[in-house]
Each structure stands twice: as structure tokens, then as C-alpha cells.
Amino acid sequence: MLEELKQKVYEANMELPKRGLVTYTWGNVSGIDRKAGLFVIKPSGVEYECLKPEDMVVMDLEGNKVEGRYQPSSDTPTHLELYKACPEVGGIVHTHSPWATSWAQACRSIPCYGTTHADYFYDGIPCTRSLTGEEIEGAYEKNTGLVIIETFRDRDPASVPGVLCANHGPFTWGKDAANAVHNAVVLEEVAKMAYRTEMLNPKVSAAPQVLQDKHYMRKHGPDAYYGQGSQG
């Protein structure tokens, strides 16, 4: 079932090591079929070299495994909460990519210092609050999803397609699995440049709002003129 989606989610997972975002098995990608109400996700702890499209696990939105010989990623309940809360999200990525994770470990949001950031993320990329002891000792992965949703209470996940989980690492999303990986790559690049920007100028402030608006809208607004029309 969902062979085409499995293939796409498989390919999106394989982009992670290719792009240098994961060490060993430290990442996972999922993609959803909204009509079927099912999503497909990487199995837990299987090495990328051994991964095959048919190893992808099919889950329903109640968190039941519908198909697959492997256990799904241990982060599956986080993906599930995000799919339920954000109907426009078609794919989700979690990694421990080193630059983004360093910001997450520093418990800091990434300010928007330039147009590279503004081209993809409208305003800063937020860092969640720390989970409470109860949230960690309880349904930890589910609560990770809930604290992300809490963080986006006054933000639009479509225009800020990523988040840093405090002391943990990043999640990104997009219209499908491939797009979510694209945003994970961008986040890593943006995190790297923001770090260096602060080292070069500790008093730096965010890029002017009007410049942020211009760049975001140039690619994403109704009058977007970047690319060949069909490209984001």
C-alpha cells in the first residue's frame, strides 16, 4: 500500500545522509497521504545503507501501525501530533544536524540576520520551552509534538517551517517529505551563518523588517517572482 508515498519518503530519508544532516541513524522523515489519513515514516534505528522503500512503516492518525515489518521511528508520536494540528503539513523531518542542534542546546531561537533566512522562514526560528519533568517522564515524544504546537500558537507553521526543541534538535516540515528535507538543509545553513554572524558582531540586530518582508514575499507571496512560476 501507498507504494508511491513510500518511495518518496524513502528518497527523502536518503537525502539526509547525502546532505550531511545525519550521523548514523539520527534522523527521520515522514510523509502523509491526507486522503487516506495515513502517514509513512522511517523505521527506528535502521541504518541508512540498509534502508529500502518497502521498509517504511505505515501509520494511521491514531498512532496505530497499519503496515510494516519494523517498529516505526521512536519519534513517531511527535510527527503524529504535528500532522493532526497542522493540516497543511505534508512532510516532517527530524535530525540532530550539528548547527541547528547547537542552537537548540543553547536554548536559543535563531534571529533572522539576512535574506537567506528570510527567503524561507518568516521571522526568527523559535526554540521551544523546556519540557517539564512530568512531560518528559510521561508521553515524552507526544509531548514534544505538543510543545511545538504550543510554540506556534502565535506563529504560522506554513511561513516558519521549522522549530528547535530545547536541548534536543530541530524539526522541519513542508508541503511534502522532499520539501521538509529541503527546509532542514536550509535551516542548517541558516543556523551556521547566524552563529558566525554573532561571532563577527556580538551587537548585531535582526535584518530590517522591510528587507525580511521583501525576500519572503519575493518567493512566497501572491506576487512571488522568484523561480519559473511553479517553483517555491
Q: What are phi and psi of 207, to 5 degrees?
A: -60, 150
- Residue 24 binds to a second copy (criterion: CB under 8 A): yes
Catalytic (active site) residue 226: yes
Catalytic (active site) residue 119: yes
Q: Which residue lies nearer to a second copy by CB, 134 or 154?
A: 134
Q: Which stretch binds a second copy (CB under 8 A): 28-36, 82-90, 109-117, 153-161?
A: 109-117
Pairing of the two strands 169-174 and 27-33: unpaired
Rule CB under 8 A: choose which of 34, 37, 107, 150 binds a second copy.
107
Q: Three-state DSSP class for 216?
A: helix
Q: Which residue lies nearer to a second copy by CB, 14 or 36?
A: 14
Amino acid at 104: A
**CA nearest 74: which of 185, 180, 168, 173?**
168
Residues 111-150, one symbol each (x = binds a second copy by CB under 8 A, - = not), give: --xxxx-------------xx-x--xx--x----------
**CA nearest 60: which of 37, 78, 87?**
37
Task: Return the residues of window 157-186 that contact a second copy according to CB under 8 A.
Answer: 167-169, 182, 185-186
Rule CB under 8 A: choose which of 74, 129, 150, 159 binds a second copy.
74
Q: Three-state DSSP class for 186?
A: helix
Residue 116 near residue 104 (C-beta atoms within 8 A): no
Distance of CA 18 to the CA centre of its chain: 17
Rule CB under 8 A: choose which of 1, 88, 208, 221 binds a second copy.
208
Residue 7 near residue 29 (C-beta atoms within 8 A): no
Q: Which residue lies nearer to a second copy by CB, 36 or 105?
A: 105
Rule CB under 8 A: choose which of 101, 128, 151, 179 binds a second copy.
101
Least separation in angstroms between CB 133 and a second copy: 5
Interface contacts to a second copy, rule CB under 8 A: 23-26, 43-46, 70-71, 74, 96, 98-99, 101-108, 113-116, 130-131, 133, 136-137, 140, 167-169, 182, 185-186, 189, 192-201, 204, 207-208, 210-211, 214, 218, 225-229, 231
Q: Which residues are catalytic?
A: 119, 226
